[in-house]
Structure 1
Amino acid sequence: MNRFLITLFLVSSSFYATAQSEISFGWLPKVNLSKKISNNLKWVSSVEVREQIYQESFQFTHNLMDVSSIFSIKTDVYESFNIGYIIRFREEEVIHRLLQHYNIVQNLDNLKIAHRLGFEQFFQNKVSPQYRTRYRATFEKPLNGEKVDVKEWYVKISNEYLYQFNEKDLEARISPYLGYQLSKKDKIEFGLDYRLGGVLESQKKNSLWFRTTWYISI
């Protein structure tokens, strides 16, 4: 499995690096708050902002903010469904997003593998509704022992593909993270979020984000 993760990372990185495209990068800070309502139901809310640092030239600008509210319904020990709503504020635009995600988790010794298949719908004034599907595989491994305990580090790598039906556009993402379990109720992750847009087009769009996420359970 370790060889698979290394191969996946090297192949994806090699493919992205050779693409001729526009380049931009910035910072994605996020706070994720979750509350367990019952044994099978959890509420998750988050706030994420996008700060642009470079796009054709160096310029620090506030790009957008996403505010989400999601209900996660567990149907099995390893399976769950997410139903939620995200509102995006981007300059003068307000974009509404509905989402439906199916999640499944596999535990292999000290490696956790999570799969997510999702469908999303976007709505905003004077724009036709947009539809998207996405698939993500995430691999998480503690750096010490068989599970992540308090005051311990772990690594996580995710690989995701998003297809926009209206524009017939495919986007690929790869994200290596380093995480730290601060307490039983919260943890923090930081790493890189690399995105390649226009995979099916001749002109690609590269964006690289430094991501920091604080997960809090109440």
Structure 2
Amino acid sequence: MKSFLTLLVTFFIGFSLFGQSDFNLGFLPKVVVGKKLSDQTKWVNSIESRTIVYDEDYQFSHSLVDVSSILSFKINTNQSVNFGYIIRFEDSEIIHRTFQHYNIVSSFSSLKLGHRFAFEQFYQTQKQTTFRTRYRVSLEKPLNGERVDVSEFYIKIGNEYLYDFDEDDLEIRFTPYLGYQATKKDKVEFGLDYRLSTFIHNQTENRLWIRATWYISL
């Protein structure tokens, strides 16, 4: 717990030193429901809401809602592929997204190291299809012992890079989370989702999301 709090303090100090004037703050609640269909297949559905609580105009606004569905296929003990679909409701517009993931998870004693390689396609009315690729690396560690048991906490730290081919833009994300295994069937994660983008065009945007996610296994 102390290590996680130290990480958050360090993050906020760095953010205050290097943050730019274009800054948004918001809240990202999410519910994820997964069901194992077989030893190799899992079906995962989620709904996520995005609310902006601060921007340059000091406005509070509801930004969007994402509803997703994913089929995950395990290749072997530490590799899997995902095929998914997201429908986004943003203002009066509906955006459709398909995506493909290749995942690798390695375990080292009490530490889990994950890699995710992704390719995404966006479909919008009166706009040509756009493409984005992304890579994420993550570390997960229990705060007690070598594995996460019921009623125990864990930390998860992620770093992700997203490249938009249409906008020629690179976005970097940093995500420190504190997780709690409530029961064998559900867990919750709380943390930050900091996103830095458009810096390669000298128009840096900083977005800080406060994220809360509830994972449910059926």
Could you say whether these structures have the same fold, taking a TM-score greater than 0.5 normalized by the shorter chain as the test? yes
SS at 2:201 equivalent: coil
Equivalences for 1:65-214 in 2 at 5 Å?
65-214=65-214
Equivalences for 1:58-69 in 2 at 5 Å?
58-69=58-69
Residues 34-85 of structure 1: per-residue CA shift (max 9 Å, x gap): 0000000000000000011011133221100000000000001000000010
Q: CA deviation at 1:17?
A: 4.7
Residues 12-43 of structure 1: per-residue CA shift (max 9 Å, x gap): x8489525341000100000000000000000
Residues 83-115 of structure 1: per-residue CA shift (max 9 Å, x gap): 010000000110000000000001011110110
Q: CA deviation at 1:128?
A: 1.3
1:216 matched residue in structure 2? 216
Q: What is the CA–CA distance in structure 1 between the aligned matches of 2:177 and 2:163, rounded to whole Å? A: 24
Q: CA deviation at 1:192?
A: 0.5
**Which portions of structure 1, spanning 4 or more consecutive aligned residues, are displaced by more than 3 angstroms?**
13-17
Q: How many residues align?
A: 212
1:38 matched residue in structure 2? 38
Contact 1:99 1:121 in 2 (8 A): yes
When normalised by structure 1's length, the TM-score is 0.92
What is the one-letter code of the residue matched to 2:28? L
Contact 1:44 1:70 in 2 (8 A): yes
Q: What is the CA–CA distance in structure 1 between the aligned matches of 2:199 and 2:72, rounded to whole Å? A: 31
SS at 1:200 equivalent: helix
Q: Does the C-alpha gap of structure 1 residues 57 and 176 become closer, same or farther in structure 2, counting only changes over 3 Å?
A: same
Q: What is the CA–CA distance in structure 2 between the aligned matches of 1:213 and 1:202, rounded to whole Å? A: 33
Identity rate of aligned residues, in percent?
Answer: 55
The unaligned stretches of length 5 or more in structure 1 are 1-5
When normalised by structure 2's length, the TM-score is 0.92
**Alignment RMSD, CA only?**
2.0
Greater mean deviation of Cα atoms: 53-62 or 126-135: 53-62
